[in-house]
Structure 1
Amino acid sequence: MKKENKIEISILIASYQEQERLPLFLESLNAQTFFSKTENKDKIEIIIIDDGSTDHTADILEKYSVFFKNIKILKNTENIGKKESLIKICKLAKGNYFLFTDADMILSPFWVEEMYHQRLDFQSVAGISFPKARNLWEGWQQVEYILLFFSIYLLNKSNINISVMGNNWLLKRDTYLKVGGYEDLVETPTEDFALFKKISLFFRKKGKILKHNQLFTSKSALKTYALKEPFSLFQQRLRWAKGAWLGSNHWERLALFFYGAQLFIWIILFFLDKKTLFYLLFFSFVIDFLLLIVASYKIKKVKIIFFYLAGFCMYQKILYAVVLVGILLGTPIRWKDKIFK
């Protein structure tokens, strides 16, 4: 007689060279309220794969493993990349839901409980993440994340699903298996975006809409780390943009182009039509500011309004203009010791 599968959630993490951030991640994982409830003790499994790290990642995983009841730790003998590592652990996962995150995150103690609670009637649920902000540079990055996620959240409420962040994503196991998972995806710098697009297309071809729930709540919010150096920030945003560019249709690419080209449009209008430029800047400022007020209220982050007022618009427009130039010039991306062209 076949044994009944009691595992509801497989928490899946691919880790590489994370010795500095891994302890805090594992401590926040161990502090999940979902684990403390007796009825949930057999519903969870955790699978972490070390993708050939050469630092102390493996030692830290071994040290912290004693705190978890149902955990599997794998180690690749060499670095094979995040997509291939995820393929390996997804094959081992037994849960009815796959809950993906990254080893450089700091989890809300209510994270697993919130994501699991929100799963009903959905094939896919995504939370949000944003960096901690200790200064203006980090604050601008925090505002950028929050505005991005709030825009995705609003579009989702209109049944328009454009993306997810793979560091905070719950996906129904059956849905993952139906589309073939990560296995036949071409090499991409954004494997989570590519899989989400693949799933959305799968349902569209069947005349259906993917039932996806984009959350925008403090309980589903994970903290990450802001990038300290401008070049590292450029490389990360270029990776995101190039992944979106490669996975988009012509209309979506056109929208991405104009979004990145705003600074160049401003400069042209400065010489040709200052009145139109003024109205454009005013309209852009008011829309972003109103969105940010609502977003900050929903996740209790009022401080981000100060970061927005303190030069965020120029930070954003300059960054995205440079990223657009990088895409058009075919600038290679270096990420996790791999080169994407």
Structure 2
Amino acid sequence: MHENVWQILFLILCLYPIIGAFFWFWGAMAYRFLKTNKRDLDWHELSMDQQPYITIMIPAHNEEVMIKDTISYLFDQLNYQQFEILVLNDGSTDQTAAILTQLQTKYDRLRVINIEKNKGKAHAFNIGMFFAKGDYILSNDADTIPEPDALMKYMNFFIHDQDLNTAAVTANMDVQNRSTLLGKSQTVEFSSIVGVIKRSQSAINDSMYAYSGANTMYRKDTLIEVGGFRQNRATEDISIAWDHQEHGTVPRFAPEIIFHMNVPETIGDLFKQRKRWAQGGTEVWLTNLPSFLRHPIQHRYQFSMFIDSTLSVIWSFFFVGSTIAFVGQLTVALGRGDRSQVVNLFLLAGIFIGFELIAGLFQLITALICGSQWR
């Protein structure tokens, strides 16, 4: 009996990436064709007297390369009038401060808070939200630019009666630095994996469990109600989404709002980013595990998210362990000259890789189908 249970668990972990891919595929299809309350195409422009005041908050640590272009774009290109930009100069040691001082002479709605010691993005945001004049705060990285209609579209997710419980809305990311193979590959990844997963979460739960730190519009009250961003987390954008759900408010995804961001262009930078994502996701899972186990009925709407997070954490360790075991068995087989075992090992690996490639192809097709809605 126990042996059968372990075999089933082993099979589930082996098939998790494949099953998960097909699960998100059908979820994204449900979002595209069955979800009726997504309000994807019915946004309208707000006149100046109807526009809620927005604070665009930009954390900046040594951003001398991009900060001027980003701020100039936001002031000159956005189709919205009622906003300010609040830059949190987070202990920069380059020319960021001097550039901001120069820009303030040109833009009277540009405000700067100089933080002497860099303590991270969450710390900077928690300071900035109490100085923000707007009732809504758009987090915007220094190297990120939203589409010109982004603010107008964002506010259409907050102004209706059914939006009173919306905590924040996150947009759809697009890679703008595609000059390298690594950058181009992440373009495919964000569209066929991240975008598909967020659509699936929205279809199943009308919610999601991770914002995009690069561009998300928050209702300021809901930030204050949960105590701001957790400073002891590797990924404050994942943590705050779970905190909002725990508090009873709803994170939302708006795939029709596009923002353009830069991605890592070296293997080293990519590894650091993914390591931080993995650490942040595990921290959030560990933080919310006791609450979920104590009150499963209360958290029933997040059940699928919790199960997926649990499997993701367990599978990551399983993947490392199974890879080590595979290499070990292969080494032993080669050492013994056991060709049949070597062939069997490669055949087994080839079968799983083949199924994963098929599942990935389905996700890519899903991204193309969903993306065609906005073309």
Partner of 2:194: 148
Matched residues in 1 for 2:119 and 2:348: separation?
A: 52
| 1:242 and 2:279 correspond | yes
Pick aligned residue for 1:28 from 73, 96, 101: 73
Q: Show CA shifts across 1:41-75 (max 9, x none).
A: xx322211101101111111122223434221111
- What's the offset of the Cα at 1:263? 8.9
Q: Show CA shifts across 1:95-139 (max 9, x none).
A: 221111111112322222221223231331111223222242211
| 1:164 and 2:211 correspond | yes
Partner of 2:173: 129
Matched residues in 2 for 1:290 and 1:270: separation?
A: 31
The amino acid across from 2:258 in the alignment is A
| 1:180 and 2:227 correspond | yes
1:151-300 to 2 correspondence within 5 Å? 151-159=197-205, 160-182=207-229, 185-203=230-248, 210-217=249-256, 220-249=257-286, 251=307, 252-258=309-315, 270-271=345-346, 273=348, 276-277=351-352, 280-281=355-356, 283-298=358-373, 300=375
Report how many aligned residue pairs link the two structures.
Answer: 279
- What's the offset of the Cα at 1:234? 0.3
- What's the offset of the Cα at 1:253? 3.2
Contact 1:7 1:94 in 2 (8 A): no
Matched residues in 2 for 1:30 and 1:260: separation?
A: 46
Contact 2:183 2:264 in 1 (8 A): yes
Matched residues in 2 for 1:256 and 1:140: separation?
A: 24
Contact 1:216 1:298 in 2 (8 A): no
The amino acid across from 2:64 in the alignment is Q
Contact 2:63 2:142 in 1 (8 A): yes
Change (3 A) 1:259 1:157: farther
1:35-184 to 2 correspondence within 5 Å? 35=80, 40=81, 43-120=82-159, 121=163, 122-132=166-176, 133-146=178-191, 147-159=193-205, 160-182=207-229
Unaligned runs of at least 5 residues, structure 1:
1-5, 204-209, 301-341
Partner of 1:318: none
The amino acid across from 1:158 in the alignment is I
Contact 2:168 2:217 in 1 (8 A): yes
Bigger radius of gyration, 1 or 2? 2
Matched residues in 2 for 1:142 and 1:230: separation?
A: 15
- What's the offset of the Cα at 1:213? 2.3
Q: Show CA shifts across 1:263-295 (max 9, x none).
A: 986995854746853762354133223223224
- What's the offset of the Cα at 1:148? 0.7
Contact 1:24 1:106 in 2 (8 A): no
Q: Show CA shifts across 1:66-100 (max 9, x none).
A: 34342211111222322221111101113221111
Contact 1:19 1:55 in 2 (8 A): yes
Contact 1:46 1:70 in 2 (8 A): yes
Contact 1:25 1:107 in 2 (8 A): no
Contact 1:7 1:45 in 2 (8 A): no
Structure 1 stretch displaced more, 251-260 or 51-60: 251-260
Matched residues in 2 for 1:275 and 1:12: separation?
A: 48
Matched residues in 2 for 1:179 and 1:278: separation?
A: 42
Change (3 A) 1:238 1:202: same
Determine what percentage of the aligned residue pairs are the same residue: 21
Unaligned runs of at least 5 residues, structure 2:
1-50, 290-306, 327-343
Change (3 A) 1:259 1:22: same
- What's the offset of the Cα at 1:262? 6.1
Matched residues in 2 for 1:293 and 1:108: separation?
A: 20
Higher relative contact order (CA 8 A, sep 6+): 2
What's the C-alpha RMSD, in Å, of the aligned pairs? 2.7
Question: What's the secondary structure of 1:239's corresponding residue?
Answer: helix
TM-score (norm 2): 0.67
Contact 2:167 2:244 in 1 (8 A): no
Change (3 A) 1:166 1:274: closer
